[in-house]
Structure formats: structure tokens, C-alpha cells
Structure 1
Amino acid sequence: MTRYESAIDLDAVEAIDVHVHIEVDGHGHASLPPDLAEAASRYFRTDGVNPDLDSVAEYYRERRMAAVVFTVDALTNLGHEPLSNADIAAGAARNNDVLIPFGSVDPGRPDAVDIARRLVEDSGVRGFKFHPTVQNFDPSDPAHFPLYEVIQDAGVPALFHTGQTGIGAGMRGGRGFRLALSNPMLLDVVAATFPDLQIIMAHPSVPWQDEALSVATHKHNTWIDLSGWSPKYFPAELVRYANSIVKDRVLFGSDFPLLTPDRWMRDAEAVGTFKPEVLPGIMKHNAARLLGLAPEAAS
């Protein structure tokens, strides 16, 4: 088994995108079942074409960027076989000049803790991605604490989807998905219980942006990524905090392929979202520190 080891040269990259989805594997298997994929394409107004991992690597290499890549394992809720975490880690190892692999473990699996441990030890994943709404779990439930303990002990971050999601949007009953599971306030319990676990709250957390900012202000083991929304539509309070109070724990993320880094940066520049002195941290240096690519430890 190929184990990932980073070969990213921070001086050679201009940004680190911490939120990039791998939606299809080398055999054409998709990360979402057909009904969800079709509904998501309508919601996000995409053509449904998704690049494989090596194509994603080339895309980011051309832009002098590094990217955190992952899938979402929601087997117990969706009944759909996820993409292989080990394959994603191996693909990132092939492209370790630009890619950083995160694993994804369905908390509903009875062997979730063992899977997480193996992904760290055998595959070398550098973090974990969770989507409480799609995976149908309450992240504050103590039943999941053993899983967080493994991640904390490994010294890698956990990235949680927060806020509204386009997955299931427009389907009958939203396909049964519950938005409230992605309220960032549920992560306050996790951050309090596991103070050494670095937690990334993904996306502007609409409609709970104030909750996310409250957690990030109070718990300094929490971070915010800015993926999934064009900066033109960021809530004003998020921009204000990103430029001041939590500027050292805000991360650039696109949500590729649904939102491209090209569009994100173009829109951020057009509206002057971030202060010039803050932007380098958001685009690269904060993520480098969090992911252990820079000598300074996460704080």
C-alpha cells in the first residue's frame, strides 16, 4: 500500500485550497448515487462532468496551488458504496507536490474507529472530512467521541460541513436530509471535549453564521474555511471577523468542482473582500500551519 508523504514546496505554491471534492474514481464510480448527483447538478447549475484525481492534480498544478482532496463516506445513510479513501491517498501520493489527502469515515459504521486509525497509519491521511447532514449523525453525540479521540491522537484536523447544503435540495423532503445536524454550535461540544483536536467548520455557515463565529471566537482549536460560496455573497459579519478577530484561523477553500478557485479569487478581488495584509494568511499561511507544512504548530 502506498503511504502518502507530502512533497509540497510552500515557496512554489501561491495558495492552499482546503476544500476539494473527488467525485469519481478511475473506474467511473461516482461518490453520490444517481438521483442525488442529478439533483445536485440542477441545484449548482453544473454539467455533471467531474475530473478524476490525477486531472484535479494537474488543474491545481497549473495554478501553482496545493489542494486538500477527499470524498464523503455516507454508506449507512445512502446505501451507496463510497470512493476508496486508500485510493485517494495513493493518488495524492502520486501527486504529492500539490495534493494533500483527507480521509472520510462514516460514523455509522461499527468499525469507524478502526478505519480511521488504519487510514492514518497505513495511508498517511492528513485529516478527516465529515458531512453530518449527508452522513445523518449528530456530531455532538458522545457515541462518536472514540472516533474523535483517534483523530486527536493522530494530530490531524477534522473538517465538518456546516450550514445549508445543496445536496438533496429540491428533492422530495430534501431526501430526508436534516439541515440542523450541520449547525456549527454542535461542534462547540466537540471542541470543548477535545481541546487538542483542530476542527474546521466548512463554508459560510448560513443560516448559523453567528453561531460559527461565536464558536471560533471562544474555542481556538476551531477554524473556518470559506468554501462553497462566492466571496460576493459572504455574510458581512464573516468578512469582518475574517479581517480581524479570527484572521489567523480562516482558510481559503473553493468547493471544487462545484465552485472553482478561479471564480473564488476573481470575485474576492472584485469586491475587495479581505484586507491586503490578511489575505496571505487566508490563502496559504494559515493552512500551512494547520496542516503541518510550516514549522509553526497549529494554534
Structure 2
Amino acid sequence: MPVDPSKVVAIDVHVHAEVSCHDPEDPVMAKFFDAASAYFKADRKRPTIPETIAYYREQNIAFCLFTVDCESGIGAKRVSNYEIAELAAQHDDIVIPFASIDPRKGKYGAREARDLIENYGVKGFKFHGIMQDCHPADRVAYPIYEVIAEYALPTIFHTGHSGMGTGMRGGGGVRLKYGQPMLIDDVAVDFPDMKVILAHPGWPWTDESLSMALHKDNVFIDLSGWSPKYFPKQVIQYANTQLKHKMLFGSDFPLIRPDKWLAAAQEAGFREEVLPLIMKDNAVRVLGLA
């Protein structure tokens, strides 16, 4: 049974699957997990996908679940998109499966995207230019985007600073420049039927994200990766006014727990009538759950 929005209290559009049920933790990714855990002051132990599902079911929060395919960028083996999709299918009343495909896989990646959509029920895709070491508008990724746009599915693009690599020697070799939101503007223009979700408040380029969401009907912002108590004031300002239908709740679990995010959001200055839009209603529309 697909997610019934009336039966959940919120929809979290930004949840990571970082531990495979079949494969051991990748040693390259382990170093990034060590650094990210220290940066976020979070538990180093990563939950399994079944543990994540059980946690969100207990919270009565539906969620989008994905890995990050950065096999070319940093040489770390990804958690399988197929594993995520198959587990999500067993819990489709609360899990919305997203996939991640390294943009450098190009046409071969486009084949995987089509298979995941047509045969495994994947509902969206996640890209992380910093970890994938790829400009979001690099034409190598366009065959993948073309498939996603054909099915009018949403994409989530990492923007802003990255906790992944923070504190590591040379930032773990990853480049923050690929997190600049304006780099995604070409993608939003070239694929107007593809909903583009800019993940995180986008610091230090927050205003770029706000401008893009204001300018383009297919651009949205998820507010994951930060506690709302630390949001730049302009995020709250625009969420309460011109962008109240463009902001989505995302936590960045397991590094940030949704219950803590939602509690902080109650005190962050969002208008009472805006919070339900952020928590659930906007995601219902963007994800096509209505």
C-alpha cells in the first residue's frame, strides 16, 4: 500500500541508507563516516535499513530513502539501489525509494535509472556533486537526467557546505565548489519537467537557493542537514512568505534525527500555518502522493 499522507505526521525527504544488509562497510566511506560523526557530534554506528524503517515507523513519519553513489568520485562502493528499492517495496506504506547513480556512468547509468523506475518502483533520485566530483550540469549526466525527466520524477541535489570530508586532510579530496546551488540552475532550465530539490539551506550560498526557488517553478528546497535553530534568518523569512509552498522537511538522518529537527522547527520562527506545509503538504505535491 503506497504512502497515505493522511496517516503520517510528516514526510522526511532526506534520509540516508549507509549500511548494506549484505556487504561490509566500505573502508573508504568509513573514513568519511568517522569525520562526519565527529562534525555532527553523532553516533558513529550507522543504522541498517531495517533499523531505519523501524525507527521511522515508530515516529509515524514517511520518508525518502537513498544512498549516494560516489564510486568514481572517491572510490567507495555504494549501497545497492536495488537493495534499497526491494526493502522499500516491503514497507511501501512508509518508505519512498530514491536511487543515486554516479553521473559519470552516463548512458550506462541511464539504463540503470530506467530499470529502477520501470521495474523497481523508484520514485526519485539523489545527486551529490561534491562527493561525486562532478559539476551538476556536466553533460555526462544528461542521459540520466533525460530518463528522470521522461518520468517527471524529482531529483535531490546536495548544495552548500558538506559535513562529508569536513576535518579530513584536504577535505578528504572533495571539492566544495560543486555544492554551489547556482551550478544546478542550468539543470533546472534544461529539464523543466523535472522537479529539482536543493538539499540543505545551501550555506554559504543560501541566497542563491532562495533566488532559484523563487525564479523557477520546478525548484524546491529541503531544509535538511541543519537544526532549524541555526537557519539563516532569510530562510525563515522566505519560508513564511514567498516560498511557503517551496520548502520541504528533511532531516539528514542518521546524522540528524527527525524528532529533534521537528522540535527545533517549532521554536525557529515559522508561522503556525506554514509548518504543516513544510512538514508534509509540500512534499505530498512534489512527490506526487496526492
Q: CA deviation at 1:28?
A: 5.2
What residue number does 2:203 align with?
206
2:109 equivalent among 94, 107, 112 = 112
Deviations 1:74-128 (A, max 9, x none): 1112222110100101111111111100000001125111111111112110000
Root mean square deviation, CA, Å: 1.3
Aligned letter for 2:37? S
Q: Which amino acid aligns with 2:20?
A: D
Contact kept, 8 Å, 2:136 with 2:184, in 1: the verdict is yes
Q: Which digits, 9 at most, give the CA deviation of each residue in 1:188-233, with x for residues without a partner?
A: 1111111111000000100000111111111110000000100000
Partner of 1:227: 224
Please tell me the residue identity of whatever aligns with 2:186.
V
Matched with 2:141 is 144
Pick from 5, 12, 15 the counterpart of residue 17 of structure 1: 12
Structure 1: gaps of 5 or more residues: 1-5, 295-299
What residue is the counterpart of 2:243 in the other structure?
Answer: 246
Aligned residue for 1:78, secondary structure, equals coil
User: In 2, distance between residues paired with 1:167 and 1:236?
Assistant: 25
Rounded Cα–Cα distance in structure 2 between residues aligned with 1:238 and 1:41:
26
Corresponding position of 1:289: 285
Find the partner of 1:63 among 56, 59, 66. Answer: 59
Pick aligned residue for 1:48 from 26, 44, 49: 44
One-letter code of the match for 2:128? H
Answer yes or no: is the 8 Å Cα contact 1:40–1:166 preserved in 2.
yes
Determine if contact 2:62/2:96 at 8 Å carries over to the other structure.
yes
- Indicate the residue corresponding to 2:164 in structure 1: 167
- Tell me, in whole angstroms, the C-alpha distance in 2 between the residues paired with 1:63 and 1:35: 30
User: Are positions 1:88 and 2:79 aligned together?
Assistant: no
**Does structure 2 conserve the Cα–Cα contact (< 8 Å) formed by 1:205 and 1:212?**
yes
2:270 aligns to what SS in structure 1? coil
With structure 2 as the length reference, what TM-score do the two structures score?
A: 0.96
- Alpha-carbon distance in structure 2 between the residues aligned to 1:97 and 1:54: 14
| Contact 1:22–1:70 (CA under 8 A) maintained in structure 2 | yes
Identity of aligned residues (%): 49
Contact (CA 8 Å) 1:29, 1:83: kept in 2 or not? no
Q: Tell me if the contact between 1:54 and 1:95 (Cα under 8 Å) persists in the aligned partners.
A: no
TM-score (normalizing by structure 1): 0.93
CA displacement 1:19-66 (0-9 Å, x = unmatched): 000110113533662222212222122221121111111111111110
Q: Distance in 1 between matches of 2:22 and 2:37?
A: 21
Q: Would the aligned equivalents of 2:148 and 2:154 in 1 still touch at CA under 8 Å?
A: yes
Matched, 1:180 2:174: no
2:227 & 2:101 partners in 1: Cα distance? 28
State the SS of the aligned residue for 2:84: helix
Q: How does 1:250-261 map to 2 (within 5 A)?
A: 250-261=247-258
CA distance in 1, matches of 2:149, 2:113: 11
Please list every run of 5 or more consecutive structure 2 residues that lacks an aligned counterpart in the other structure: none
Task: Give yes or no for contact 1:74–1:80 (8 Å, CA) kept in 2.
Answer: yes
